[in-house]
Structure 1
Amino acid sequence: MMRAIVSGLLLGLVAPITAAAQAISLPELEQQIADRALGKIVAVQVEQNGETVYAQRFDRKNDDQLTDIRSAGKSLTALAVGILVDEGKLPVNTNVWPLLGSAANDPRNDITVRDLLTMSSSLDCSDSTLKSPGNEERMYRTKVWRDFAMNIPVAGDYTRDDKGYGRFSYCTAGVFLLGQVVEEVSGQRFDDFMAERVFRPLGIDDVKWTRSRSGEVQSGGQIQMRADDLLKIGRLVLDGGKYRGQQIVSGEWIKQMLQPHSQTGPYNYYGYLWWFSPVTSPRGLEPSWMMMGNGGNIISIYREYDAVIVVQARNYNKDDAHPNSFAIMRAVLEALPAPNQKGDGSGAD
């Protein structure tokens, strides 16, 4: 088991084992979804070895209907930051507050881009605690989110470990500020930057961003996208930042992004706005890095299977949202041919 976890933590450092892609069938899962046993599942799409092997929409809407993937969108911001890092314009040790125009004596001036990428800054900010000064719901009630985020107080008990990291505290406002950093460094609005540098090269032309009342782009999630476009994001990361021969973000950045920086559970870790969480397969715990958002929205990649699984769901604020989506991913892995094995794709013995 631990061997599988270690393998997964090195996901960006090893080559995938490729095999011929085969269409898969998931009748039992489809019945569960139809019976609402897994809540409101919107779509499931699976890609292996660069080919779509399963695609099903379950909410009776057109395939081009967009779905809000909530905080899974944070992982897109890591790609935007990575492009600027690759170009030498934004080192990860850049101090964020001075870049965004803070006063010389601001107590937040030592917070870096890396701190915000790893959710380990000194901000007194926790989205899981409603009374937290930086809780995202407080930000949404304001007109100018940048002013709110720039003025979140620092935690009085904050310390760093011997590697320079603080404690993990999930903070959407910090990721919103990373979008402001991208705007400051690139000279473009965040949505325009993403369209030009990420989406257009992937052939993604239909997304919907959430904005503040003052028009700021929410780079901390809440983007609406199609399932097939999310497959492209997963493939981009799985292939080391390359898509159909074009290097969009460097392989070196992908490696850094998928390095574990904080442990969030017995087998769970956090990189640069990407989650590591193993999924049970017929072989045991299968290493996987993921984009994850409220409602059970998950885009997961599997190096050894050379596969991407997209689950879109509207189980927002439900305790079983992620367990339901993990059940779907387990069913998919049972149906996919395992590495170095051939089968009919049905998952049958």
Structure 2
Amino acid sequence: MKLIFKNHFLMMLLSLSVISASSQDIWPTQGWVKTSPDKLNLIADSLIALDHDFANGKYGHVDGMLIIRHGQIAYEASYSHNYAELYKQEAIEKSGLNATDPTGPYNYFSSWWHPFYHGSKLHTLQSVSKTITSMIIGVAVTRNEFPDLDTPVLSFFDTTTVKNIDARKRKMTIRHLLTMTAGFDWHENLPYSDPNNSCSNMEASFDWVKFTIDHPMSDDPGKVFNYNSGATELLAYIFRVATGRDIEEYAVKHLFEPLGINNHFWKRTPFGLVDSEGGVYLEKSDVAKLFYLFLKNGKWENQQIISADWVRQSVSPFIKFGPNRGYGYKWWLSSYGNKPAEVTWGGNGFGGQFPIVIPEYDMVVVFNAWNVFPSAQSRNYNPNFLTQKVLNAIVEYHEKKK
């Protein structure tokens, strides 16, 4: 569903006071410290009940949960599913989720690739990769190694080879790609198994960048929110052209290694470009580090990895849809209360990848799942539901509600 741009979405404007840490800084570079929920003012019974529900399949195929507060692990659990058996038939039947890739990384039913990479603990993040791509751009902006966000997208292309150029496409900027307001005539609101889904068709093509940039325009850039995975793939291309560096290589040196993230996998497109729209695999403990970095205002130990200004812009609502939701630079923003500070920041990936920051309560939580097909169980597993479950475990939350 397309949603009209609003530049006066101040209600959520922030939680950004939030960004100052409410507890002594703890840096999990060498790994997270584990403690008990009660020591972090969390109700253990609430988390145990959620754990049992996940283990019993109440919310579909959930693979893991990680609850972090004040820089320490309060609760962690993992769940095992036989995906090779669960999706055995789907893996060999052609569909929008494996159209041209029967044995490779874009067969979403192949247990060799999904949801875990080659039987490891690295879990697919799908579109949380978009949020991570935005983080990497934030690092490059902080280091003065990336162009101004208002630079036209077409300035990075040989326009004699680009199709459907009009005044609208000429006005499209990097900022529009970051905020899903590029204006392309793109149809990703369909199920990914639908052959008319633009993203599925992009992934079935050889050159994803050309597939996207050649699309006709339907709206003026900056005016309409239209979820578009191809827009994030354009960012990977722009990053390479503008910096001369591969975005994954850059991330390893300037983002992953400083945070102590030493193990990852990142898929590539058939053309060889990084799959910035959905290709990252990480362990949930390392996903938590990336989102904890934003909770800490872009600082890690004694280094400002990402500027505080970029963090503020990223989690500020560039657009609003509905009374309680917004979107920043590849960050989903959701209000859970009536105060400006009562807003979560998060990523959202196909199958149920939900890393969520709850700044007011100094928390980062990560949930992984592989609910490929909607079901009665999996429909109840969503960011709002998970946020409320976590809030129900916070002692101070209940005290504020009295």
Q: Which runs of 5+ in 2 are unaligned?
A: 1-8, 25-38, 83-115
Matches within 5 A, 1:62-81: 65-81=121-137
3-state DSSP of counterpart to 2:40? coil
Q: Would you say 1:271 and 2:328 are equivalent positions? A: yes
**1:345 matched residue in structure 2:** none
Q: Would you say 1:128 and 2:184 are equivalent positions? A: no
Q: Deviations over 1:18-56 (max 9, x none)?
A: 387357522211221121011111111011111111111
What CA distance in whole angstroms lies between the structure 1 residues aligned with 2:267 and 2:152? 26
Structure 1 residue corresponding to 2:289, chosen from 224, 232, 237: 232
What CA distance in whole angstroms lies between the structure 2 residues aligned with 1:183 and 1:128? 29
**1:172 matched residue in structure 2:** 229
Matches within 5 A, 1:57-206: 57-59=78-80, 65-88=121-144, 89-103=146-160, 106-107=165-166, 108-129=169-190, 135-155=198-218, 158-159=219-220, 165-206=222-263
Does the aligned pair in 1 maintain the 2:334–2:345 contact within 8 Å?
Answer: yes
**2:40 matched residue in structure 1:** 21
Structure 1 residue corresponding to 2:368, chosen from 308, 312, 315: 312
Q: Deviations over 1:41-99 (max 9, x none)?
A: 11110111111111111227999611111111110111122223233431110111221
What CA distance in whole angstroms lies between the structure 1 residues aligned with 2:302 and 2:366? 23
Q: Deviations over 1:226-265 (max 9, x none)?
A: 1100110111011111122321110000001111111122
What CA distance in whole angstroms lies between the structure 2 residues aligned with 1:51 and 1:74? 26
Structure 2 residue corresponding to 1:37, chosen from 52, 58, 77: 58
Match for 2:240: what amino acid?
E
Q: Deviations over 1:132-190 (max 9, x none)?
A: 988111111111112212211111xx236xxxx21000000001101111111221112
3-state DSSP of counterpart to 2:133? helix
What CA distance in whole angstroms lies between the structure 2 residues aligned with 1:104 and 1:297? 37
What CA distance in whole angstroms lies between the structure 1 residues aligned with 2:352 and 2:123? 12
What CA distance in whole angstroms lies between the structure 2 residues aligned with 1:6 and 1:122? 24
**1:346 matched residue in structure 2:** none
**1:10 matched residue in structure 2:** 14
Q: Would you say 1:335 and 2:399 are equivalent positions? A: no
The 3 A distance-change label for structure 1 pair 121 and 21 is same
Size of the alignment, in residue pairs? 332
Match for 2:352: what amino acid?
G
In the TM superposition, residue 272 of structure 1 has moved relative to its aligned partner by 0.7
Which moves more between the two structures, 86-95 or 222-231?
Answer: 86-95
3-state DSSP of counterpart to 2:73? strand
In the TM superposition, residue 318 of structure 1 has moved relative to its aligned partner by 2.0
3-state DSSP of counterpart to 1:288? strand
Q: Deviations over 1:1-20 (max 9, x none)?
A: xxxx9674312333343387
3-state DSSP of counterpart to 1:170? coil
**1:211 matched residue in structure 2:** 268
Does the aligned pair in 2 maintain the 1:9–1:287 contact within 8 Å?
Answer: no
TM-score, structure 1 length as denominator? 0.85
The 3 A distance-change label for structure 1 pair 91 and 196 is same
**1:254 matched residue in structure 2:** 311
Match for 1:333: what amino acid?
L
Does the aligned pair in 2 maintain the 1:9–1:260 contact within 8 Å?
Answer: yes
What CA distance in whole angstroms lies between the structure 2 residues aligned with 1:317 and 1:100? 38
Match for 2:335: what amino acid?
P
Q: How much identity, in percent, do the aligned residues show?
A: 25
Which moves more between the two structures, 15-24 or 117-126?
Answer: 15-24
The 3 A distance-change label for structure 1 pair 341 and 178 is same
The 3 A distance-change label for structure 1 pair 306 and 7 is farther
Which moves more between the two structures, 59-68 or 287-296?
Answer: 59-68
CA RMSD of aligned residues (A): 3.1
The 3 A distance-change label for structure 1 pair 7 and 239 is farther
3-state DSSP of counterpart to 2:225? coil
Q: Which runs of 5+ in 1 are unaligned?
A: 343-348
